Structure 1
Amino acid sequence: MNHTIPEQSEPTRLDMYLTHTYPEFSRTFWQKKIKNNLVAVDGKNVTKHFEVGPGMRIDIAEKEPEEKKKSEMPEIEILTETDDYIVIDKPPGLLTHPNEHHPDEAAVSTWAKNHSPQVGEVGDNPELRPGIVHRLDRDVSGVMIIAKTPEFFEHLKLQFQNRTVQKQYFALAHGLDFEDVTDLAFRLQRNKKTGKMSALPESSSEGKEAKTAIEVETRYTSSTMLKILPKTGRTHQIRAHLFAKGNPIVGDKLYTSKNFITKLDEQLGRIFLHAYTITFANLEGSTKTYTALLPPKLKSFLETLKIKN
């Protein structure tokens, strides 16, 4: 199938143009075809961000690539379930929801929709993120809430916006230079080249406000166990803040440098970051707290470390 962009068209991104021109297909559908080199502009494969304009020829291959074997859904522990929400203990390695890079991989949102079909109608974008109000990074484990009704989705969303939801994490960070209680307030801005969050001084006019409270739990010989209380909910906030401080999280492959990669990282094989508790108000106004205990792998790993005298 081929298409020539009309002369009166305004320049726009390729994926957005295709979604507008062929509304029977979702934007995710077009992004996947572009990524798999099934869309060419003037004979060349380009990215979804490529700007197209009048007179350009778009060729769309009909044949879909061979379907990749979907990743298996791991077992997910349900901590509690009500008529309004599900609270789970998310295992590491599981996406919160599919994305353009991993459209077919197992995800919390997929599990939730299969577990409770009504979830499929809930959320700002139920096609992509059914029931999802907040997220955990793929390699992070711990407590998560999934909304089962539109009413509770909006109720919980408002609490996150007002920063009344309280979350507590545990993290093992490289180094020992922590006060017993520390507040980090680096502003965060996504780096357009790397996609990572860059930390900026609190006084900077750029980036977004991000605040993280840290309390020392245990000091080991070369690392420190931390209780972390994020006051804002920016993408990769805890990881970027600790990296900016000079104490990246053990096992973090993204926010680190070669100076910090040690045997600890190799032995653990995952990031030592776990969402331990979450506190929020239900629809009746009662305060609810749910806890996901530290996974056995993280707990046993700590037992191999020597406590600093």
Structure 2
Amino acid sequence: MLDDLDLINEEAAEELYERKSFKVDKGQEPMRIDKWVQGRIEGATRSKVQKGIDAGFLTVNGQVVKSNYKIKPGDEILMMSLINPEHTELRPENIPLNIVYEDDAVMVLNKPPNMVVHPGVGNFTGTLLNGVAYHFLQQNPNLDEESLPRFGLVHRIDKNTTGLIVLAKTGDAAAHLAKQFFNHTVNRKYVALVWGDVQEDSGTIEAHIARHRQHRKMFDAYPEGETGKHAITHYKVLERFNYVTLVECILETGRTHQIRVHMKHIGHTLFNDWEYGGDRILKGTIYTKYKQFVDNCFEMCPRCALHAQTLGFIHPVTKQPMHFESPLPEDMQSVIEKWRKYMQRKTEE
């Protein structure tokens, strides 16, 4: 929290921050808020706490305060808390970037499949952020992680998810964008191909998400709401192919593998999502002709069929709404067209 925008590991949530709330005890003596917070955050320094407070990462009774605010009994404190920080050396690398938009404050990229967003265990090089660091340093050789923590990373998407991601180019822009993600005011729409014929034309999935009890690299839905973190996904059917369905998903929260877990929870695992069992036939016959067709589809889209298509946010400097759309990548477009033709042939038979 209030720490720099440090890296988080590849299994961490899409959102880099979660909410932490405190209520000051009745017997608490008056104390500066920065000193009080520092005593409750392991490894926090006074200067980092003050930077976080100045950036608006903390409120008292719903109001932004200054570092010298004196806490009082009963004060309700809400702060942005960094999830799973991982301190990994960031090495700039000359990696081609698909830049959709760039100005002095922000950069929007279109991430390809099979690219990790940031360095972590097992992925120290070749990540999107390695390329971003190199790109930023070409523009400003004096830039470092003191002036722009982790080179502006404020959210992430999975390794095999394609699509839009925004990065900040200044510390102030990073703080502004981070708060938008924290407050769930960023507009994000994803397109996914899922197994099965989704019955309802639209719906909302509300189920907590936490690590799977048996498989620690996976996550699971806990609809009883006592385990994990609150998560909400809205979905809408875009096109039906009987055996698979093309859906649009809108995130209210950004939990780990949220769309993948939520769609599996309602019986519609993402197509070719090997971690969650989508890399085998889940709807339709297992006989040779159909099986060969599905195997060909897997080869055309050799990853989880998920694309971050829409990204909207308020520009941190101009305060104007920004909206970006990314067309479906070739692998997903090809496999969708293949299913479309397959269903046309079935209808004509």
TM-score (norm 2): 0.63
Q: CA offset at residue 302 of structure 1?
A: 1.3
Is the 2:195–2:278 Cα contact (8 Å) retained in structure 1? no
Between 1:134-143 and 1:247-256, the stretch displaced more is 247-256
Q: How many residues align?
A: 239
C-alpha contact (below 8 Å) 1:73/1:107 kept by paired residues: no
Counterpart check, 1:305 vs 2:339: yes
CA drift of 1:194 comes to 1.8
The change in CA–CA distance for 1:257 and 1:116 in structure 2 (over 3 A counts) is: closer
* RMSD across aligned positions (CA): 2.6
Alignment correspondent of 1:195: 217
Shift of 1:177: 2.9
Residues 258-286 of structure 1: CA deviation (Å, up to 9, x unaligned)? 76465343442121100001010012221
CA contact (8 A) 1:123 1:131 kept: no
| Offset at residue 122 of structure 1 (A) | 6.7
The partner residue of 2:132 within 100, 112, 123 is 112
Q: Is the 8 A contact 1:109 1:131 kept in 2?
A: no
Deviation at 1:120, TM superposition (A): 4.3
**Which 5+ residue runs of structure 1 have no aligned equivalent?**
1-25, 30-69
- Match for 1:272: what amino acid? A
Opposite residue 196 of structure 1, the aligned amino acid is M
**CA offsets 1:210-250 (integer angstroms, 9 cap, x no match):** 00000000001310000110110111100111112111111
Note closer, same or farther for the CA distance 1:254–1:123 as it changes in structure 2 (3 Å cut). Answer: farther
Match of 1:265 in 2: 298
Question: Higher relative contact order by CA 8 Å / sep ≥ 6: 1 or 2?
Answer: 2
Q: 1:120 to 1:180 in 2, by over 3 A?
A: farther
Name the TM-score, length of structure 1 as normaliser.
0.71
Q: Confirm or deny: 8 A CA contact 2:270 2:278 kept in the other structure.
A: no
Alpha-carbon spacing, 1:152–1:188, altered in 2? closer, same or farther (3 Å): same
1:121 aligns with 2:148: no
| Whole-angstrom CA distance in 1 between matches of 2:265 and 2:299 | 22
CA distance in 2, matches of 1:171, 1:89: 16
> Quick one: distance in 2 between partners of 1:174 and 1:120?
45
1:217 paired residue number: 238
SS at match of 1:173: strand
Do 1:274 and 1:294's aligned partners in 2 also have CA atoms closer than 8 Å?
Answer: yes
1:231 aligns with 2:252: yes
1:254 aligns with 2:288: no
CA distance in 2, matches of 1:292, 1:198: 29
Distance verdict in 2 for CA 1:82–1:191, change over 3 Å? same
| Partners of 2:310 and 2:325 within 8 A in 1 | yes
Structure-2 residue corresponding to 1:58: none
Cα 1:206–1:175, aligned 2, differ >3 Å: closer, same or farther? same
* More displaced stretch, 154-163 vs 129-138: 129-138
Q: Is contact 1:210-1:233 (8 Å) kept?
A: yes
Correspondence 1:167 to 2:188: yes
CA contact 2:163–2:309 (8 Å) conserved in 1:
yes
List runs of 5+ in structure 2 lacking aligned partners.
1-85, 283-293
Q: Report the CA distance shift for 1:289/1:123 in structure 2 as closer, same or farther (over 3 A).
A: farther
**Structure 2 residue matching 1:130: 3-state secondary structure:** helix
Deviation track 1:52-104 (CA, whole Å, cap 9, x = no partner) reads: xxxxxxxxxxxxxxxxxx9x97642110101001101100011100111222x
Is 1:278 the counterpart of 2:311? The answer is yes
Q: Describe the shift of the 1:300–1:272 C-alpha distance in structure 2 as closer, same or farther (beyond 3 A).
A: same
Contact 2:300-2:334 at 8 Å conserved across structures: no
**Contact preservation (8 Å) 2:300, 2:331:** no
Q: Which amino acid aligns with 2:180?
A: Q
Conserved in 2, the CA contact under 8 Å of 1:122 and 1:153? Answer: no
Residue pair 2:239, 2:246 contacting (<8 A) in 1 also:
yes
- The alignment partner of 1:155 has SS state of helix
